[in-house]
Amino acid sequence: MMTLTPGAKRKTAAPKLGAVPAALLKRIEREAGSDAAQAAPAAWMRAVAKACRGELEERLNETMLADRASGAKRVHYLSMEFLMGRALGNALAALELDAPFAEVARHAGVEPGEVLEREHDAALGNGGLGRLAACFLDSLATLGVPSFGYGLRYRYGMFAQRIQDGRQVETPDDWQSLGDPWEVPRHELRYEVGFGGHVTAEDGCGRRWEPAQIVHADAVDFVVPGHDTRRVSVLRQWEAVAVRPLDYAAFSRGDHFGAAHDKVAAESLNWVLYPDDSTPAGRELRLKQEFFLVSASLQDILARHVGEHGSLDGLGDKVSVHLNDTHPALAVPELMRLLLDEHGLPWDAAFAACLRVMSYTNHTLMPEALETWPVRMFEALLPRHLEIVYEINRRFLAAVRLQFPGDEELVKRVSLIDESGERRVKMAALSIVASHHINGVSALHSELMVQTIFADYAQIFPGRFCNVTNGVTPRRWLAQANPTLSEVLDERLDGNGWRTDLDRLAELAPMAGDKSLQAEVRAAKLANKERLAALVRRELGIAIDPGSLFDVQVKRIHEYKRQLLNLLHVIARYQAIVANPSANWVPRTVIFAGKAASAYVAAKDIIHLIHDVARVVNSDPRVGDKLKLVFLPNYGVSLAETIMPAANLSEQISTAGTEASGTGNMKFALNGALTIGTWDGANIEMAEAVGREHFFIFGLLTEQVAKLRELGYDPRLYVEENLQLKRVIDAIARGDFSPGEPQRYRALVKSLLERDTYLLMADFAGYVQAQGAVDRLYTDGAEWDRKAILNIAGMGAFSSDRTIRDYARNIWNVAT
Write out the residues near ligand PLP by the rule CB under 6 A: 83, 127-128, 131, 555-556, 636-637, 640, 662-664, 667
Beta-strand ranges (E) seen in 43-96 are 74-78, 82-85
Complex with ligand PLP: residue 429 or 676, whichever CB lies closer = 676
From the list 107, 120, 555, 573, the catalytic residue is 555
From the list 53, 305, 363, 529, the catalytic residue is 363
Minimum distance of ligand PLP from residue 83's CB (angstroms): 6
Q: Tell which residue, 206, 179, 224, has the closest CA to residue 75.
A: 224
From the list 142, 663, 675, 803, the catalytic residue is 663
Give kind and range of the element (H or E) at residue 753: helix 746-754
Complex with ligand PLP: residue 83 or 674, whichever CB lies closer = 83
From the list 561, 573, 595, 628, the catalytic residue is 561
561 is catalytic: yes
Complex with ligand PLP: residue 124 or 425, whichever CB lies closer = 124
Instruction: Tell me how far apart the alpha carbons of residues 485 and 335 are, in angstroms, rounded to a whole number.
Output: 47
Minimum distance of ligand PLP from residue 811's CB (angstroms): 22
Complex with ligand PLP: residue 566 or 663, whichever CB lies closer = 663
Minimum distance of ligand PLP from residue 644's CB (angstroms): 8
Q: Tell which residue, 663, 704, 705, has the closest CA to residue 683.
A: 663
76 is catalytic: no
Minimum distance of ligand PLP from residue 668's CB (angstroms): 8
Instruction: Tell me how far apart the alpha carbons of residues 559 and 600 are, in angstroms, rounded to a whole number.
Output: 10
Instruction: Tell me how far apart the alpha carbons of residues 756 and 473 are, in angstroms, rounded to a whole number.
Output: 36
Complex with ligand PLP: residue 566 or 738, whichever CB lies closer = 566
Amino acid in the structure at residue 347: W
Minimum distance of ligand PLP from residue 604's CB (angstroms): 18
Cβ–Cβ < 8 Å for 48, 28? yes
Complex with ligand PLP: residue 45 or 660, whichever CB lies closer = 660
Complex with ligand PLP: residue 458 or 674, whichever CB lies closer = 674
Q: Find the helix packing angle between 98-107 and 19-32, rounded to 10°.
A: 70
Left (φ > 0), alpha (ψ -120 to 50) or beta: where does 153 sit?
beta
Complex with ligand PLP: residue 100 or 128, whichever CB lies closer = 128
From the list 556, 562, 588, 787, the catalytic residue is 556
Strand partners, 171: 160
Minimum distance of ligand PLP from residue 638's CB (angstroms): 8
From the list 611, 667, 744, 786, the catalytic residue is 667
Complex with ligand PLP: residue 663 or 738, whichever CB lies closer = 663
Complex with ligand PLP: residue 647 or 728, whichever CB lies closer = 647
Complex with ligand PLP: residue 464 or 562, whichever CB lies closer = 562
Minimum distance of ligand PLP from residue 620's CB (angstroms): 30
626 is catalytic: no
Left (φ > 0), alpha (ψ -120 to 50) or beta: where does 130 sit?
alpha
Instruction: Tell me how far apart the alpha carbons of residues 746 and 726 are, in angstroms, rounded to a whole number.
Output: 15
How are beta strands 147-152 and 627-632 bridged, if at all?
unpaired
Q: What share of the chain is helix, strand, coil (3-state, %, to 5)?
A: 55, 15, 30
Query: Closest residue to ligand PLP, Cβ-based?
Result: 664
| Helices within 452-562 (DSSP H only) | 455-460, 474, 483-492, 515-540
Minimum distance of ligand PLP from residue 1's CB (angstroms): 47
Q: Within 13 A of 162's CA, how many CA atoms are on the CB side? A: 7
Minimum distance of ligand PLP from residue 554's CB (angstroms): 7
Minimum distance of ligand PLP from residue 662's CB (angstroms): 4
Cβ–Cβ < 8 Å for 119, 49? yes
667 is catalytic: yes
How are beta strands 417-418 and 424-426 bridged, if at all?
antiparallel
Q: Is 460 exposed, middle or buried (0-12, 13-18, 19+ CB in 10 A)?
A: middle
Largest CA-CA distance found in the chain, in angstroms, rounded: 91
Q: Tell which residue, 208, 436, 407, has the closest CA to residue 319.
A: 436
Cβ–Cβ < 8 Å for 664, 566? no
Minimum distance of ligand PLP from residue 735's CB (angstroms): 31
Q: Which positions ≥6 away from 728 have C-beta within 8 Å? A: 568, 571, 572, 575
How are beta strands 549-554 and 588-593 bridged, if at all?
parallel
Q: Within 13 A of 660's CA, how many CA atoms are on the CB side? A: 27
Q: Which positions ≥6 away from 715 have C-beta within 8 Å? A: 752, 753, 754, 755, 756, 759, 760, 761, 762
Q: Which residues are catalytic?
A: 363, 555-556, 561, 663, 667
